Amino acid sequence: MRYYSTQRCRKAAKNDPRLSAFISVLMLVLLAACQGQSVVAVANVDVVEPQPDTPALSTTEVVAPPTVTPTNTALPPVQLQIISPTPASDAAGEMAAMPSFSLPDPTSAPDHLITPTPAHPITPTPAHPITPTLITPSSTPPPTFTPPALPQTAPDEHYWLRRPVAEGGVVWTNKHYPYGSTRGGELRPHHGVEFDVPYNTEILAAASGTVVVAGNDAATAYGPHTNFYGNLVVIQHDFLYNGQAVFTLYGHLNRPLVQVGQQVSAGDVIGLSGATGVADGPHMHFEVRLGQNSYEATHNPLLWLWPFPDRGTVVGRVTFPNGALAYEAPVRVERIDAPSHYAATTTYANETLNADDLWNENFAIDDVEAGYYRVTVTAGDKKFTQEIWVYPRRTTFVEIVIEP
């Protein structure tokens, strides 16, 4: 191969245009090859080329965020509460849960009584005193109350009648218009008690006996006047009290379901409740009459209706120093040994309301939970108090003398 000098090549190119073009192309190729070697050399440096569709990163120095150490890496425990489903209210279930109103066995010992709830333990036995759990109102230790030994049931007590409403129904007596009350002067003195049952509630015989009245009082007055009780039933019972006949009256019925002369047993359905006579709404008026079937012969039913197992009855006599009865004096009964709602009533409105032969009382409060209580009678701006124990299925008597 023949080699040419650079000057000679240039001279030849001038004389031959084709040669000149070829030389130009050759120089461009050589130049491109040199540039490719430069790129390859640069590629040996650690350079990261951006990926397609990736925006260019800022050249600002990136500072790593401070590391935060959590103070508590454990999750709080989950408190699970398992709730058992509560079945829908069932009247039969409620009735089964209610206490029994069976008449007491006169030969049974006091240890057959049902003890109050464990929260306020009171276990009455004749041989051991009761030490209740007391409320501490301040830092000063409260005194310890030691009640007397449980008294035996008096032989003349007469809790002989079951509640005239089925268990599971409204078995509580109305506390706003008790026996002997005028409800603050609004009504005539009450000769019975009320059961606030709705229309057409089955009314039950309080004890066995014979029906002597079944109908209405439109022609014959069994109360202060005719059309007073509306539809009513009167039962003469199979037992006597101190040689006297015992009657119970069931008033303001929608309709009686028995006939005169019919024999009934305790718990038999004798009628349906209503609002006949002078009733201002549906309820059942209940009376106890001794000696004769007369409005003037009524006695307080609260001393005849069998108490609930964990409750007793408070009866009392409020008088002035000369022995005269105090009429419609406010009486309040508050529990001392445990939290509880207070009970309140008034003394009988006048002398026509008969006291019990045994207690000679002029007020009574039923369904009082067993425990230790303060009884307060208010006379003007003065208060007179006594402290008493209430025992299950027992009557507790208190006498308070007040001064004007």
Q: Token digits for 254?
A: 């929608």
Kindly tell me if the per-residue pLDDT of 189 is higher than 90.
yes
* Cβ–Cβ under 8 Å, residues 203 and 235: no
Q: What CATH number was assigned to the domain covering residues 193-303?
A: 2.70.70.10
What is the pLDDT, as a whole number, of residue 286?
Answer: 99
What is the pLDDT, as a whole number, of residue 10?
Answer: 56
What is the pLDDT, as a whole number, of residue 308?
Answer: 87
* Cβ–Cβ under 8 Å, residues 263 and 238: no
Could you tell me which residue, 183 or 354, shows the higher pLDDT? 354
CA distance 380 to 404: 7
CA distance 132 to 336: 10
Pairing of strands 202-204, 244-256: unpaired
Could you give the residue ranges of the DSSP H alpha helices within 44-103?
91-97
Pick the CATH number of 311-401 from 3.40.50.1100, 3.30.1300.10, 3.20.20.105, 2.60.40.10: 2.60.40.10
CA distance 165 to 186: 27
What is the pLDDT, as a whole number, of residue 74?
Answer: 41
In this prediction, what percent of the chain has a pLDDT beyond 90? 56
For 83-106, what is each residue's pLDDT tens digit?
A: 333 333 333 333 333 334 443 333
In this prediction, what percent of the chain has a pLDDT beyond 70? 61
Distances (CA, A) of 110 to 124, 283, 314, 353: 8, 35, 19, 33
Query: What three-state secondary structure class fits 352?
Result: coil
Helix H or strand E encompassing 293: none
Q: Where along the chain do its domains lie?
A: 193-303, 311-401
Q: What is the average per-residue pLDDT within 373-393?
A: 95
| Degrees to nearest 5, angle at CA 326 with 321 and 332 | 105
What is the pLDDT, as a whole number, of residue 157?
Answer: 85
Q: Token digits for 131?
A: 């030490």
Lowest mean pLDDT among 9-13, 46-50, 298-302, 356-360: 46-50
| Degrees to nearest 5, angle at CA 273 with 209 and 349 | 80
User: Running DSSP on this structure, what letter comes out for residue 139?
Assistant: S
Lowest mean pLDDT among 14-23, 263-272, 291-300, 367-376: 14-23
